[in-house]
Structure 1
Amino acid sequence: MASAVYFCDHKGKPLLSRKYRDDIPLSAIDKFSSLLSDKEEESNLLPPCISHNGIQYMFIQHNDLYLAALATSVQANISLIFAFLHKIIDVLDGYLKTVEEESIRDNFIIIYELLDEMMDYGLPQITETKMLKKYITTKSFKLEKAHKKKRNAARPPTELTNSVSWRPEGIKYKKNEAFLDIIESINMLITQKGQVLRSEIVGNVRVKSRLSGMPDLKLGINDRGIFTKYLEGNNIGIAKNGDDEDADDTNNESSIVSEGSNKRKTNIELEDLKFHQCVRLSKFENEKIISFIPPDGEFDLMNYRLSTSIKPLIWCDVSIQTYRIEIHCKAKAQIKKKSIATNVEILIPVPEDADSPIFKYSHGKIKYLPEKNLLLWKISSFPGGKEYSMAAQMGLPSISGEDDLNTRVSNQSKKPVQVKFKIPYFTTSGIQVRYLKVNEPKLQYKTYPWVRYITQSGDDYTIRI
């Protein structure tokens, strides 16, 4: 339960505040700036929460701002308060586009309106941007005229008083469609010899709803227990094709074996599950069914993560000759032959003053990026099982000797190779949609659900050289 919310500048001095409870003094925020300075002197990393004189200072940083929430009770729901602070930034992004000190100073009226609606007595209330925009406007900084017959009295939209606050009534489409995208981003750190040091799968189930009325959707994912724990052990496992008669061979690309055991696991254990508020959590916990009334438009239905060992999907063997700048790279798509990686980009680091590049390659295009000290090898289409190669020679005009050359090449080679790619119709984890049922009890229309799978490189898919 938060007692107050403050917007502060980069030094911790308050710009705007909203108090919800009277259990903290007005001067409490004056200590925030000095507390930040003390923590910065102690360590380069600021803790997200500072306790002083019985007051908890919980804050996040965004651009040149600190957004802080103050509370007195040590039993306050910390995760709820931090989630609310991030939600404030998301809502302000929808209103102000850029949330920074200047935009806060120029729009304090609309921010006060939003803070009044988003929290009451220290508890979060309305946090959906679409709902807030129905009666709080940034153009005139006044409440919209919802009912002209009532002397222009501003009233909240009716959906705020309903149980389904994220979806208004009366939505109509000529063609009712639901688009479902399952996007998995792969983060991986690989050694020069191909050993995987770190790997994880970050998944996102994204829905785009173009459905009339108030539809009720049911989503089934891997009926054989994708959300259940394994019968043996707690490790994550994916059945290899052919090892289990019931295993689906559509998306299972890799086989993961639990530590200390040679037995294959047939189920997938998703970690860090996060659902949109429209999902009925009680029904999911009891029946493992994802049932929901979707918001109109695009939204993230579910996010998940798997920290597990998987083989590299795109593997690069890069060697650099030290006696001269000569780079050789072999890239191999270690995916099924029926799968094709698209928009593959391989970024190879080179010394900062290298010039006069000469390229030889079997497929794609190669470009030298001197401003980034990189060679960019682009392959538009990379079928599974294929192996392509390239070679490059570059000059170093300012070298003083072979030792200088070896030192500079060695320093540059410490930077890893970055790989970017996208593989449609494929998921690494094996997650698969079994059905997507749409039921609108009043309109009873026909629907056209569309499902798409995409695996892509994450922000950290790197190979050491």
Structure 2
Amino acid sequence: MLGDLLRYELDGVVTVKSYMVGIELAISLAPITLRSSSSAVVPSPHTVVLDDAVFHDLIDVEAFEENNMLCLEVPTGELSLMNYRICDNRPTENGYLAGGSIPFTVFSHIETPQTPNMLEISMRLRSDLPERFVGQDIRVQLPVPACTRSVSSQFSESSQSRPVVVHHQSPSMIEWNVGRLRGGSEIQIKMKLTLSEAPTPAIRRAIGPISLRFEVSDYLPSGFSIRKLSAVPSRGHTYSNTNTEIKPWIRNITRASSYVVRI
């Protein structure tokens, strides 16, 4: 069963980790604008529109508004430079939104077999990511009736890893540890639930909703990206006469926070 998308929201953060003293950072971002901006300039199709953004006190907000730059002398340690949010509840016919695209789709089906006190649940998890991306640490959680006594499962032969299914008694829930799933591929599971009583409509309604947890490296569903990162010694600091070398690098990660599918 595949329904309609009800709500889509992306929460992002730009975090910097510095292990050196006296470093000036200049982070050049791809074209972005705030939805509440008073600018009369119409954003281009490639401009990312943010619903809101919050900056650290060290950030020069004027420099950001003028040229999409985050500039500061960064202290040692970890620091959140910018938090942003993109909301959109207007799905298009292609399944894409103004804020981004849907990385995973879950199909589900519930059957009541002739065997007494039993329910069968089929789920198919499809990765709609481009093939070059791989979903990591994928976990599917499904609440089941409290009268569930045991669960048996059968997987599709196309599984790319060794998935594990665990039935938790309190609260009553099935956790499907998928592991890895490459973009453009899918995995199926069929579960048989043995109940302590005959399944009723109320018992069936106790199944769901499905929730997903996952992580994808270098995947940017919002289009928000860092074009360039430069790091140089600030005034009064130098590393030219030491063996220390400044090596800036960028890591992009997308994680699921609340990815819920109703049955």
Measure the CA separation in 2 of the matches of 1:287 and 1:358: 57
User: Contact 1:365–1:377 at 8 Å: present in 2 too?
Assistant: yes
Instruction: Map 1:196-207; keep pairs closer than 5 Å.
Output: 196-207=5-16
Amino acid across the alignment from 1:464: R
> Could you list the per-position Cα deviations for residues 17-63 of structure 1 after superposition, in whole angstroms to 9, with x for gaps in the alignment?
xxxxxxxxxxxxxxxxxxxxxxxxxxxxxxxxxxxxxxxxxxxxxxx
Structure 1 residue 296 corresponds to structure 2 residue 56: no
**For residue 227 of structure 1, what is the aligned residue in structure 2?**
33
Q: 1:318 aligns with which of 108, 115, 118?
A: 108
User: Contact 1:332–1:385 at 8 Å: present in 2 too?
Assistant: yes
Query: Could you say what secondary structure the match of 2:32 adopts?
Result: coil
Amino acid across the alignment from 1:220: S
The structure with the greater share of residues assigned to helix is 1
Structure 1 residue 218 corresponds to structure 2 residue 26: yes
Instruction: Map 1:190-339; keep pairs closer than 5 Å.
Output: 192-212=1-21, 214-222=22-30, 225-227=31-33, 232=42, 265-308=45-88, 309=97, 310-323=100-113, 324-339=118-133
C-alpha displacement of 1:410:
2.7
Q: 1:398 aligns with which of 197, 213, 236?
A: 197
The structure with the greater share of residues assigned to strand is 2
C-alpha displacement of 1:350:
1.3
Amino acid across the alignment from 1:461: Y
Q: 2:135 aligns with which of 323, 341, 350?
A: 341
User: Contact 2:32–2:68 at 8 Å: present in 1 too?
Assistant: no
User: Contact 2:2–2:106 at 8 Å: present in 1 too?
Assistant: no
Instruction: Map 1:145-224; keep pairs closer than 5 Å.
Output: 192-212=1-21, 214-222=22-30
Amino acid across the alignment from 1:424: S
> Could you list the per-position Cα deviations for residues 77-118 of structure 1 after superposition, in whole angstroms to 9, with x for gaps in the alignment?
xxxxxxxxxxxxxxxxxxxxxxxxxxxxxxxxxxxxxxxxxx
Instruction: Map 1:28-177; keep pairs closer than 5 Å.
Output: none
Q: 1:423 aligns with which of 209, 216, 226?
A: 216
Measure the CA separation in 2 of the matches of 1:438 and 1:271: 29
TM-score, reference length from structure 2: 0.82
**For residue 434 of structure 1, what is the aligned residue in structure 2?**
227
User: Contact 1:314–1:331 at 8 Å: present in 2 too?
Assistant: yes
**For residue 389 of structure 1, what is the aligned residue in structure 2?**
188
C-alpha displacement of 1:408:
3.1
Identity among equivalent pairs (%): 23
User: Contact 1:328–1:390 at 8 Å: present in 2 too?
Assistant: yes
Q: Residue 424 and residue 315 in structure 1: after superposition, are their counterparts in 2 closer, same or farther (change >3 A)?
A: same
User: Contact 2:104–2:127 at 8 Å: present in 1 too?
Assistant: yes
User: Contact 2:145–2:204 at 8 Å: present in 1 too?
Assistant: no
Measure the CA separation in 2 of the matches of 1:398 and 1:434: 59
**For residue 146 of structure 2, what is the aligned residue in structure 1?**
352
User: Contact 2:210–2:262 at 8 Å: present in 1 too?
Assistant: yes
> Could you list the per-position Cα deviations for residues 364-412 of structure 1 after superposition, in whole angstroms to 9, with x for gaps in the alignment?
111111212111111111100111100111111233xxxxx23233321
Structure 1 residue 376 corresponds to structure 2 residue 158: no
Amino acid across the alignment from 1:425: D
User: Contact 1:230–1:267 at 8 Å: present in 2 too?
Assistant: no
User: Contact 2:219–2:252 at 8 Å: present in 1 too?
Assistant: yes
Q: Residue 461 and residue 295 in structure 1: after superposition, are their counterparts in 2 closer, same or farther (change >3 A)?
A: same
> Could you list the per-position Cα deviations for residues 143-200 of structure 1 after superposition, in whole angstroms to 9, with x for gaps in the alignment?
xxxxxxxxxxxxxxxxxxxxxxxxxxxxxxxxxxxxxxxxxxxxxxxxx524211001
Note the aligned Cα RMSD (angstroms): 2.0
Amino acid across the alignment from 2:260: T
Measure the CA separation in 1 of the matches of 2:201 and 2:247: 61
Amino acid across the alignment from 1:448: K
Query: Could you say what secondary structure the match of 1:282 adopts?
Result: helix
Query: Could you say what secondary structure the match of 1:448 adopts?
Result: coil
Larger-gyration structure (1/2) = 1
**For residue 91 of structure 2, what is the aligned residue in structure 1?**
none
Measure the CA separation in 1 of the matches of 2:67 and 2:108: 49
